[in-house]
C-alpha cells in the first residue's frame, strides 16, 4: 500500500494504473473547479473543507452523500487537487483520523 512517507506524489500514469485496482480517488477541489476544469473519471469530489467531516460520517450517510462506499481506514485512497497543496493537506487529515 502507498503511504505518505513512501511516495506522496503520483504521476498521471501511476494514478491510471492504481485506478485499475480498487483505489478510491478523492478529488478535493471545490465544486466550481470541477465545473470549470472538468471531473476526473471515476473520482469522487469531496471539497477539502468537507473532508474531515466526510471521513467521519456513518458509512450509510457517506454512501448517500457521495454515491460511493465509504473507505475503511486501511483502504487505498488517493487525493488530488489542482496543484498538490490541498491533496497534501487531505492526506494529513486522513492520516490524523487513523487512515493508513
Q: Which positions are catalytic? A: 81
> Hey, where are the domains in the chain?
2-97
Query: pLDDT tens for residues 32-57?
Result: 999 999 998 889 999 999 999 999 99
Total-model pTM = 0.82
2-97 domain in CATH 3.40.190.10? Answer: no
CB 15 within 8 A of CB 56: no
Q: Is the pLDDT of residue 61 over 80?
A: yes
Farthest-apart Cα atoms in the chain, separation: 33
Rg of the Cα atoms in the chain: 13
Q: Residue 2: which pLDDT band, with cuts at 50, 70 and 90?
A: very low
Distance of alpha carbon 60 from alpha carbon 31, whole angstroms:
22
Amino acid at each position: 500500500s502507498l503511504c505518505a512517507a513512501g511516495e506522496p506524489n503520483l504521476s498521471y500514469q501511476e494514478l491510471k494504473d492504481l485506478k485499475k485496482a480498487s483505489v478510491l480517488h478523492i478529488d478535493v477541489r471545490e465544486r466550481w473547479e470541477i465545473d470549470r476544469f472538468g471531473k476526473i473519471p471515476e473520482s469522487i469530489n469531496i471539497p477539502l473543507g468537507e473532508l474531515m467531516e466526510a471521513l467521519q460520517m456513518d458509512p450509510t450517510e457517506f454512501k448517500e452523500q457521495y454515491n460511493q462506499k465509504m473507505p475503511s481506514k486501511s483502504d487505498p485512497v488517493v487525493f488530488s487537487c489542482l496543484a498538490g497543496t490541498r491533496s497534501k493537506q487531505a492526506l494529513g487529515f486522513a492520516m490524523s483520523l487513523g487512515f493508513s
